[in-house]
């Protein structure tokens, strides 16, 4: 069974139809890269998957559980949406760290809130009945994640004291902290100076080796070719071509993919 199934997602803003029926599925441990021109709907698709936008049509299923079905007339409660979001982690182009919190706090904050809420409601969180005990466990996990992204020495620094590449690595650790099934990246290196993209791409490669399931919107073609199991080319809100990287990037079949890549190679 696929880990993620996305069926016929349609999303309009007013009269503008941005996603015109997106369908794909993802196996556990699979890496999908999404490429395509600016305005083709890539960010909107990631935002739909993270429940930051509500599609007008379609269905999203994770691990056999239907998280969203536009055909179901009941609107999802805030609590249900928050639960749904836990399946996905999102890393933005602009890092979006909380400037007033340290690196460690950026990573632990969301889970601490979750633990507090859980203990209040059910009496325990991950086997901890005491909030301070839960916080200690969450802290320990953050230390492991900081090690994973190579930033143990920046634990108590503030975002403004870090380079863009380091901030993006903190954002990755923060997304991992909630143990999402699927990690989504929206152009994770587009806001970085070229000399800083390497360190972020290296972390993403390591995550692939560790078997993480990921969806990566990127303009880094070499990287996409290298790290992906599947590449999706989006054009005007539809999937114009999808397949292994050797096909979609190496030997595209669709004329629109060919044109996009040739424009890309000219730069």
Ligand X SMILES: Nc1ncnc2c1ncn2[C@@H]1O[C@H](COP(=O)(O)OP(=O)(O)O)[C@@H](O)[C@H]1O
DSSP string for residues in 202-231: HHHHHHHHTT-EEEEE-S-HHHHHHH-SEE
Binding to Mg ion by residue 189, rule CB under 5 A?
Answer: no
C-beta of 115 vs 183, nearer to ligand X: 183
Binding to ligand X by residue 232, rule CB under 6 A?
Answer: no
How far is CA 239 from each of CA 5, 38, 41, 149, rounded to the nearest angstrom? 15, 14, 10, 32
C-beta of 37 vs 247, nearer to Mg ion: 37
Rounded to the nearest 5 percent, the helix, strand and coil shares of the chain are 40, 25, 35
Report in angstroms how near the CB of residue 48 gets to ligand X at its nearest. 10
Report in angstroms how near the CB of residue 14 gets to ligand X at its nearest. 7
- Number of residues binding to Mg ion, judged by CB under 5 A: 2
Binding to ligand X by residue 216, rule CB under 6 A?
Answer: no
Binding to Mg ion by residue 44, rule CB under 5 A?
Answer: no
Specify the DSSP element, H or E, that contains 245: helix 245-248
Q: Which does 41 bind (CB under 5 to 8 A by kind): ligand X, Mg ion, none?
A: ligand X
- Of the candidates 215, 224, 205, the one whose C-alpha atom is nearest the C-alpha of residue 182 is 215
Could you say which of 33, 43, 84, 230 contacts Mg ion (CB under 5 A)? 43
Contact map string, positions 26 to 45, toward ligand X, x by CB under 6 A? ----------x-xxxxxxx-
Residue ranges that bind Mg ion, judged by CB under 5 A: 42-43
């Amino acid at each position: 069974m696929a880990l993620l199934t996305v069926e016929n997602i349609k999303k309009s803003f007013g009269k503008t139809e941005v996603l015109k029926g997106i369908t794909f599925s993802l196996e556990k441990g699979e890496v999908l890269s999404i490429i395509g021109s600016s305005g083709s709907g890539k960010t909107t698709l990631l935002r739909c998957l993270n429940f930051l936008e509500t599609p007008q049509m379609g269905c999203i299923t994770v691990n056999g559980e239907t998280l969203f079905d536009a055909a179901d007339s009941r609107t999802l409660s805030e609590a249900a949406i928050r639960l749904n979001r836990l399946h996905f982690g999102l890393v933005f182009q602009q890092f979006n760290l909380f400037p007033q919190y340290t690196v460690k706090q950026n990573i632990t904050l969301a889970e601490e809130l979750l633990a507090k809420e859980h203990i209040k409601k059910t009496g325990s969180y991950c086997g901890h009945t005491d909030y301070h005990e839960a916080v200690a466990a969450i802290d320990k996990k953050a230390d492991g994640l900081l090690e994973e992204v190579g930033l143990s020495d920046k634990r108590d620094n503030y975002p403004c004291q870090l380079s863009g590449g380091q901030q993006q690595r903190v954002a990755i650790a923060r997304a991992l902290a909630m143990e999402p099934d699927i990690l989504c990246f929206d152009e994770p290196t587009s806001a970085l100076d070229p000399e800083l993209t390497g360190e972020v791409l290296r972390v993403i490669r390591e995550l692939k080796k560790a078997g993480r399931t990921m969806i990566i919107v990127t303009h880094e073609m070499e990287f996409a070719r290298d790290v992906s199991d599947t590449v999706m080319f989006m054009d005007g809100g539809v999937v114009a071509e999808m397949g292994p990287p050797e096909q979609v990037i190496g030997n595209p079949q669709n004329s629109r993919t060919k044109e996009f890549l040739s424009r890309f190679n000219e730069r």
